[in-house]
Amino acid sequence: MTDNKKLVVAISSRALFDLDESHRIFEESGKEAFCSYQMEHEEEILQPGVAYSLVSKLLAINEVLGQPTVEVILLSRNSADTGLRVFNSIQHHGLSISRAAFTSGQSPFSYISAFGADLFLSSNAEDVRKALSAGHAAATILASSKPATDSGQLRIAFDGDAVLFSDESERIYREKGLEAFAEYEKVEARNPLSGGPFKAFLATLHHIQTLLGADESPIRTALVTARAAPAHERVVRTLRAWNIRIDEALFLGGKEKGPFLHAFGADIFFDDQQGHCDSASQHVATGHVPHGVANPEKN
């Protein structure tokens, strides 16, 4: 990764702003009523959505570094007409977002690659599945009942298996149980795990961290995993083999992750298991990564 490589994050309008009311109208009354509602209210400013704080902190990194290092792209199922309210709100809130794709109801996931996005965040689970299948880091945003941390530092937490790493070990656990999993990881301890869908995104975050000293970095990362000793060793050696620094690593041995994510002050947490995501979202904003053995393909 070169020094001028940007971190590009693509986000849906429903993840960025609170569009619950207009989405309810779409669900209950259809597309025409939705479009009429949006145009009638296009001068009304939308309130921040679940990923608003995350986006604000991402864009603030450019000010800290004094160079355009992060870009946020809007990918929306709105039309250009109904999207006018979204852009009015972007301007009102002072967000430096200038690129967008409005697809009039079609899935916008095909534009992730065209924009060179490193991460796609959406409220639409099907769009996220398509993005992951195409090889992009992507997550379905779940709202949190707790307010985002007011720390100026961007804090991102990741689960390990099927998110940062492949799901090979998770498959052993599901097929043969905890004892077989522990033995497998002990035998394979010095063999790095394959990368999961979020490996490249983590690498890009790590690069940005290296532009400033560790104490001055605008980003702090954490691995929050149900693994425990001795299965921790392979994870540590994998990150070392990738030459990626992660700031904090929590090996919880099956304990509930939410309180630890709150203690870390995560702005967002990514996990592949829906149950873990539902629990974590009681404490922090959470992104469900529907990837791997825990998320079989839907027919």
pLDDT tens digits, residue range 222-267? 999 988 888 899 999 999 999 998 999 999 988 999 999 999 999 9
> Does residue 125 belong to any structural domain of this protein?
yes
Provide the angle, in degrees to the nearest 10, between the axes of the packed helices 20-29 and 31-40: 150
Do residue 268 and residue 170 come from a single domain? yes
Do residue 121 and residue 233 come from a single domain? no
Element (DSSP H or E) covering residue 240: helix 232-242
Q: What is the DSSP letter of 88?
A: H
Do residue 80 and residue 185 come from a single domain? no
> Does residue 106 belong to any structural domain of this protein?
yes
> Does residue 298 belong to any structural domain of this protein?
no
Residue 206's domain spans which residues?
154-288
Considering 142, 176, 202, which residue would you say is the last residue of a domain? 142
Do residue 158 and residue 137 come from a single domain? no
Give the CA angle between residues 188, 165, 126 to the nearest 5°.
145
Q: Which of these, 72, 158, 49, lies nearest to 118 by C-alpha position?
A: 72
Q: Could you identify the residue written with the tokens 């400013």?
A: 45
Give Cβ neighbours of residue 158 (< 8 Å, ≥ 6 apart): 164, 198, 202, 221, 222, 223, 224, 269, 270
Q: CB atoms < 10 A from the CB of 27, how many?
A: 9
Catalytic residues: 159
Do residue 22 and residue 54 come from a single domain? yes
Do residue 216 and residue 113 come from a single domain? no
pLDDT at 299: 41
pLDDT at 298: 60
CATH code of the domain containing 284: 3.40.50.1000
CATH code of the domain containing 118: 3.40.50
Adjacent-strand bridge partners of 286: 142, 269
Do residue 56 and residue 122 come from a single domain? yes
The total of structural domains in the chain comes to: 2
> Does residue 299 belong to any structural domain of this protein?
no
Considering 91, 119, 142, which residue would you say is the last residue of a domain? 142
> Does residue 1 belong to any structural domain of this protein?
no
pLDDT at 33: 80
Task: From first to last of the 299 residues of the chain, give the pLDDT tens digit.
Answer: 445 678 999 999 999 998 888 778 877 877 788 778 788 888 889 999 999 999 999 999 999 999 999 999 999 988 888 788 899 999 999 999 999 999 988 889 889 999 999 999 999 999 999 999 999 999 999 977 666 666 678 999 999 999 999 999 889 888 888 888 888 888 998 999 999 999 999 999 999 999 887 678 899 999 999 888 888 999 999 999 999 989 999 999 889 999 999 999 999 999 999 999 999 999 999 999 999 888 887 64
pLDDT at 20: 80
Do residue 137 and residue 93 come from a single domain? yes
> Does residue 297 belong to any structural domain of this protein?
no
pLDDT at 35: 79
Q: Which of these, 201, 35, 177, 195, lies nearest to 116 by C-alpha position?
A: 201
> Does residue 149 belong to any structural domain of this protein?
no
Do residue 165 and residue 134 come from a single domain? no
Do residue 161 and residue 85 come from a single domain? no
Considering 114, 142, 170, which residue would you say is the last residue of a domain? 142
Q: What is the DSSP letter of 37?
A: H
Do residue 171 and residue 98 come from a single domain? no
Do residue 172 and residue 76 come from a single domain? no
> Does residue 49 belong to any structural domain of this protein?
yes
